[in-house]
Structure formats: C-alpha cells, structure tokens
Amino acid sequence: MTALPKSIDDTLALLRAQDYVAERSLATALFLALKMERPLFLEGEAGVGKTEVAKVVARALGRSLVRLQCYEGLDIASAVYEWNYQRQMVEIRLAEATGKAAREELESGIFSRKFLIKRPLLEALDHGDAEPPVLLIDELDRTDEPFEAYLLEVLSDWQVSIPEIGTIRAKRPPIVVVTSNRTREIHDAVKRRCLYHWVNYPDAQRELEIVRRKAPEAPERLSREVVAFVQKLRAADLFKLPGVAETIDWCKALTALDAVALDAATVDDTLGVVLKYQDDIAKVRGAEAAAILKEAKAVAAA
C-alpha cells in the first residue's frame, strides 16, 4: 500500500513510474479525484490510454483492481451480486433429509452471505477494513440507461441494497475510474458525480516517450519515424484514426521485421497494424502513404 499523491507533480511522477506518460491535465483530474474521493470519468477515442489509467493507479497505490466490463444487457446478477443457487439447493436437500429443526433454520440461513456471489460492484464496496480497491467501470457507453440509473445510486451513496440481507455500505469509497468511448452520451447525472477528463491523442513528444517505454526494443530512428508518421496520419480523413496502442504495436511489428527505419514498401505492407478498416487502408496505401512518409522522415530527422 502506497500513500496517495500529495500534488499534481507527485501524481505525474506516480504514473510515470508505472510507464504511463500523462498530460498534466489528466494528472490534475486524477489528483483531485483521489483527494476528493470522487469517481474519475475518462472519455476519448479508442486506444488513447483510458483503461490503462485504472490499471496503473491500482498498481502504483498497491490496491486491487476490480473491473466491471460493460456491455449491452449487463444486469444486476452480473454487475452486483447473485445467489449461489447450486449451493442453496444442496443446503435444501440436506435440510429435507435431517428434519424439522434444520428446516426452520434453513429459511434464514439460505439467504445469508455464505450463499452470496459478489460481482464487481459489490466486491468494490464490500472490502471490510482493507484499503479500498480501484473499481474500473469500463466502456460505460455500451450499457443501457437503466443500468446507468442504478450506477448513479451506487456512486452517490456507496451502497447497494439486497432485499434478503439489507444494505451493504462501503466503509470507505473505492477509487473509481469510469471510461467511455462516447458511442453515446452518458447521462449528465452520472457525469455530475464524477470529475471529467477528455483523453486526447498525445502530441509527438509525449507519444515518443510512450513508445520508448512501451516498445524499448525499437530502434530510436524507427520510433521517431513511426511517431511522426502516425501523428500525420491522424490529420488524414479516415474512418478510424490510430490510437497510441496502434503506434506501440507498429513499432513492435516493424522491430520484429528487423526494420531500423520506415520505407514505402514496408509501410504499405504493414498498414494493417495501424489502420483497421479496409477503406482506410485502401485510401492511404500507395501515393498518400508515400507523401506522409516523406514529411514524417523530415520531421523525425529534425
């Protein structure tokens, strides 16, 4: 267990020590979220490092990470708790076999904690006296509105009620990171409870530092050219722009091919590492890639 960071600079250093190179504005939002015990809401394009923030914070602070992956149709049984029907059935059979006294005990016993299966939200609240975990509510935009409404309650009161048992309340709130790819707008009421930060694509300098840390095996010249290329590519009119994850992947892929610098043929052959839509690849491959490559080489050499 590590103490919470004491300043924004402290927060930047804490992230960096885990190889996460953050913008100062993100470190500010995170610092405040930790200090004020408020959830951090991260929105941004795919692959810009939203999910990674939660993982890195858990690692840096020595907390456990509880992850709730959202999807359409996510329900209470998968997100909060579920009764262990199999074990309850066994208990019922045993009571039937042993007689009346056991049967009377059965009713209270069967809906006790012993038969409760904790799902991520309950697990994150019901941590007893241990240090609160980091709760990652990932890709909230994939769920539906009723779930959001439920979540709103959890995030405001740090409690869930289970009819058969009562209310379970967190002694201390977990550290919460909510992410969204903004495929739809999240309700204002949820956002209001959180501190909000839009995660941007990094500038060239920050992206190069990320690559140096995440793909250290890549030769320096190659990394520079890849970063310059991807930065230019993000200005192109594409259906889906490459994220940081793609830049890292590209550096690793090219290194695996023993490349020490970009060349037009290799770029064309490996575009599928950076672009994931055939229309985008078809558009860039050839003349446009060559033009971007020329500019990128000039920038990287400077």
Ligand X SMILES: Nc1ncnc2c1ncn2[C@@H]1O[C@H](COP(=O)(O)OP(=O)(O)OP(=O)(O)O)[C@@H](O)[C@H]1O
Q: Should residue 47 be labelled a site residue for ligand X when binding is judged by CB under 6 A? A: yes
Q: How far is Cα of residue 175 from the mean position of the Cα atoms in its chain? A: 13
- 21 touches which of ligand X, Mg ion, none (CB within 5 to 8 A by kind)? ligand X
Is residue 60 within 8 A of residue 2, CB to CB? The reply is: yes
The distance of closest approach from Cβ of residue 16 to ligand X in the complex, given in angstroms and rounded to an integer, is 9
Nearer to Mg ion among residue 168 and residue 210 (C-beta): 210
Q: State the nearest-atom distance from the C-beta of 49 to ligand X, in Å.
A: 2
- Contact with ligand X (CB under 6 A) among 22, 40, 74, 218: 22
CA distances from 149 to 130, 153, 187, 188, 228 (A): 28, 7, 9, 11, 43
Interface with ligand X by CB under 6 A: which range of 43-51, 66-74, 128-136, 148-156?
43-51
Instruction: Provide the minimum distance between the beta carbon of 48 and Mg ion in the complex, in angstroms, as a whole number.
Output: 9
Query: Which residues fall within 8 angstroms of residue 33, CB to CB, at 6 or more apart?
Result: 39, 40, 175, 194, 195
Q: In one letter, which amino acid is 90? A: V
The helix (H) or strand (E) run that includes residue 36 is: helix 24-36
Build a one-symbol-per-residue string for 99-138: x at contacts with ligand X by CB under 6 A, - elsewhere: ----------------------------------------
21 binds ligand X (CB under 6 A): yes
Q: Does 210 bind ligand X (CB under 6 A)?
A: yes
Nearest to 239 by CA among 287, 184, 281: 281
Smallest distance, Å, CB 179 to Mg ion? 6
Residue partners of 101: CB distance under 8 A and separation at least 6: none
Choosing from 11, 40, 51, 201, the residue that interacts with ligand X (CB under 6 A) is 51
Coarse DSSP helix, strand, coil percentages of the chain, rounded to the nearest 5 percent: 55, 15, 30
Considering only residues 11, 51, 231, 247, which one is a binding residue for Mg ion as defined by CB under 5 A?
Answer: 51
Q: Contact positions toward ligand X, by CB under 6 A? A: 19-22, 44, 46-52, 179, 181, 210, 214, 244-245, 248
